Structure 1
Amino acid sequence: MRSLRAQLVSSTILLAAAVMVVLVVGTQAVLELTARRDVRAALTDNPPGAIAVYERSERLALIATVVLGILVVALVGWLAWRVVRRALAPVRQMAERAADWSERDLSHRFALGPPVTELAALGATLDHLLDRVARAILTEQRLTSALAHELRTPLTAIAATAELAQLRPDGDPAVRDDLAVIGEAAARMSTVITTLLEVARSPQARAGGARASVPDVVASVAPAVGSPLRFVTDVAADVTSVAAPAGLVVRALAPLVENAARHARTQVAVEARLVGDHVELRVRDDGAGVAPELRERMFEPGASGSGGTGLGLAIARRVARSLGGDVVPSDAGTGASEAGGCFVLLLPRG
């Protein structure tokens, strides 16, 4: 699809070409009349040279017309390019600023003044849209933060009570096992709530220019892969950091590693590569792979192929997107014949 600038320039050049056709025809007519006058004069003074005079006049007229037409078309095209470039410069600047603001801060506005021109009206419309988007995002963040705070207290009480009940010497072993399950579930819920709190605060953390070391993040998720599985890492030399807080990066990567550990047969591998302006963290296992019926809805809360809660991948994607990245499924390994599941965590490079 051609850009608006290309369309305007091409339209201007076509118009100039049409004008030149008219100009050429008119010039040819005028020069033809002039040549005929010269020929009449030559017939009077030098009849044998009249034909040569006519042909020379015709060639000169054609050459002059073609050169003039080329110069006029080139000049009109250059002027059109300059005018269109200056006219579209504010639109390009607005697009670049909007992209930068969406990644850093939602409080910026274009503020082009009263909508007396088309661009000012566009800027005012975008400012109103940004206001609504910012309000919606802030409302969601505040609600998430409030709910997380409200849930942390009872969860802490549940976990503490379960732990104290397990320490009683006269307790039933079966009850003690049930309390251990309750404590583990409370710990998992507490981790999810902590993650939601950090996600709600992630715009402020990103605005502060936080950086996370990729090798350190990869090393911190290694305990999620227990024996007898092997944990294999391959971090490229040019991959150093990502533009995000280390705690949030771990919370985006850990669910992917835990999911791979649940499905792996012998090993879980984490690879880190630099792809453009993003760092690609590829987590893969050598298990059975992702079931086809789960591939489209695996990131929905509650979707699980192993009997889990189905929140891990959903939380990982939410955290990644809050940091300006994403989590996507991919083919495992480098060969098409390799089995297993593979997920890619994309984060902005530091």
Structure 2
Amino acid sequence: MNRLFWRFALLVMLAITLATCAIYFTFSRLFGDPLEEIARRQAAGQIFLLEQYIDKAPSDEWLPRLNKVREVSEATLELQPLPAALAALPSSKRAQLLQGAVVIDVGGKAFYRRVDTTGARYIGSDDDVIHAQRLPIDIGLALGMEAIRFGVIALFLLVPIAWWTRRHWRGLLALSKVADDFGQGNLAARAEVRPASSIAPLAGRINDMAERIGLLMEAHKNLLRSVSHELRTPIARLEFGLELLRERHAADDPALQKRVVAMETDVDELKTLVNELLDLTQLDQAQSMARQPFALAPLLTGCAPPRGSATTPARQFSASIADDLGELQGDARLLARAVNNLLGNAAKYAASRIVLSAVRDGAAVRITVEDDGPGIPPEARERVFEPFYRLSREQDYAASGYGLGLAITAKAVQLHGGAIAIDDALLGGARITITL
């Protein structure tokens, strides 16, 4: 059963219980205690004998008739002083006893009644009370019948509620699945519910929203892809023109040669940006990838930069890669690029140390890159994975890059079914952890 049904069931049971209590107290106020009335009906035979047989006897035969009833009745009829009977009754019923009425004791399966109020039966009879006990009073039976009535009403209420909530819950699950699929990049996901469903209007609005978002995202991707492709042609022309300029004119002019080198550096940066844009666009469009088994430990070992390389100039690099990492089904080249992006990012900001580590944690593998740089503020740790996002601080503007490396890394990890997170490193900088 779904959670929606159980919530409705709890509310229905609570409402019926409260209604039963309200009815009981209302009837008690207006017409007397219903349980007492049930007990009075069950003890009607003994009350009839008292009122129609014993009380009808002449004064000198009243006690003999009482004794005859004692002999044949299963109930116990005793005489006790009026003060003792008053003390045994709650204050709300003492006035009834004093007036000569039959007072029912439901819990004790008994009743009280004065012999008379005038002392006509015998001397001092107005100070005695008949206490009838062991009466055939069974409130449990009445309560059981009420419980059955309660259950039947609850059943007839809950069956249609269960039918309705089941259809409603299935519609909600369909909407939830659409939201999950849409969030995972399946822009074609749509909610399919029956037109008569109570959530059909909501599903229609969600589908309309998904359609508009899908069109916007597709237009955005097409723009990035088109611009990136179109930029390659003028970049190639610039490279060719700079090469001709270097060969024909820059050889005899050092200032011009220096300027050409600077322009070639700018063109290389532009090529890098275009390539990263194309890579990010391709990853965004990829719903899946070709998976092949590959060993993790050798791949990570190959990602470690050689000592003294340009990736980690003047920085101490250390790696701690466990041997029991096993194999992973995925794209080895794509995962290696993700790790290399993290190492390159750490090299830009580390002061003196970079550490790459990988360990197995049960069924998961954790790959960690940490450094002793300035770190990443907690409020920006989610946004740094967005394309083109850069922190507004001096180190980020001084470092080269376009804010695409971490976005590509996050997408690559997502395609492998993993997760990526940032926290504070023991070295003092940032620690980025990939969990596969």
- 2:208 pairs with 1:131: no
- 2:38 pairs with 1:31: yes
- 2:273 pairs with 1:219: no
The answer on whether the counterparts of 2:42 and 2:137 sit within 8 Å (CA) in structure 1 is yes
Q: Which moved more, 1:156-165 or 1:92-101?
A: 156-165
Equivalent residue for 1:122?
202
Q: Which moved more, 1:191-200 or 1:151-160?
A: 151-160
Matching residue within 179, 182, 191 for 1:110:
191
Alignment of 1:198-237 (within 5 A): 198-208=279-289, 216=299, 219-220=302-303, 222=305, 225-235=311-321, 237=324
The answer on whether the counterparts of 2:369 and 2:433 sit within 8 Å (CA) in structure 1 is yes
Q: CA deviation at 1:89?
A: 2.4
Equivalent residue for 1:8?
8
Matching residue within 405, 408, 424 for 1:319:
408
Alignment of 1:189-338 (within 5 A): 189-208=270-289, 216=299, 219-220=302-303, 222=305, 225-235=311-321, 237-238=324-325, 240-241=327-328, 249=335, 252-272=338-358, 281-290=367-376, 300-301=389-390, 303=392, 305-306=394-395, 308=397, 312=401, 314-320=403-409, 322=411, 324=414, 329-333=422-426, 338=427
Distance in 1, Cα, partners of 2:422 & 2:406: 11
Matched AA of 1:263: Y
Matched AA of 1:330: D
| Rg (Cα) greater in structure | 2
Matched AA of 1:105: N
Equivalent residue for 2:128?
none
Alignment of 1:25-64 (within 5 A): 28=35, 31-41=38-48, 43=50, 45=69, 46=73, 48=76, 51-54=132-135, 57-61=137-141, 64=144
Pairwise CA RMSD: 4.4
Q: CA deviation at 1:259?
A: 2.8
Q: Which moved more, 1:148-157 or 1:60-69?
A: 60-69
1:314 is paired with a residue whose SS is: coil
Q: CA deviation at 1:135?
A: 0.2
Q: Deviations over 1:57-89 (max 9, x none)?
A: 155357636865885698689758844345312
Q: Deviations over 1:264-313 (max 9, x none)?
A: 23331234567999976432112344589988987734745336466747
Q: Which has the higher contact order (CA 8 A, sep 6+)?
A: 1
Q: CA deviation at 1:149?
A: 1.0
Q: Which has the higher helix share?
A: 1
Q: Matched residue pairs, number?
A: 338
Alignment of 1:75-86 (within 5 A): 82-83=162-163, 84-86=165-167
Q: CA deviation at 1:143?
A: 0.3
Q: CA deviation at 1:141?
A: 0.2
Distance in 2, Cα, partners of 1:269 & 1:108: 41
Q: CA deviation at 1:242?
A: 7.6
With over 3 angstroms needed to count, the CA separation of the structure-2 counterparts of 1:240 and 1:73, relative to structure 1, is farther
Distance in 2, Cα, partners of 1:178 & 1:290: 36
Matching residue within 79, 93, 105 for 2:174:
93
Matched AA of 1:96: K
Distance in 2, Cα, partners of 1:262 & 1:35: 93
TM-score by length of 2: 0.61
Q: CA deviation at 1:151?
A: 1.4
Equivalent residue for 1:146?
226
Distance in 1, Cα, partners of 2:177 & 2:360: 23
The answer on whether the counterparts of 2:238 and 2:267 sit within 8 Å (CA) in structure 1 is yes
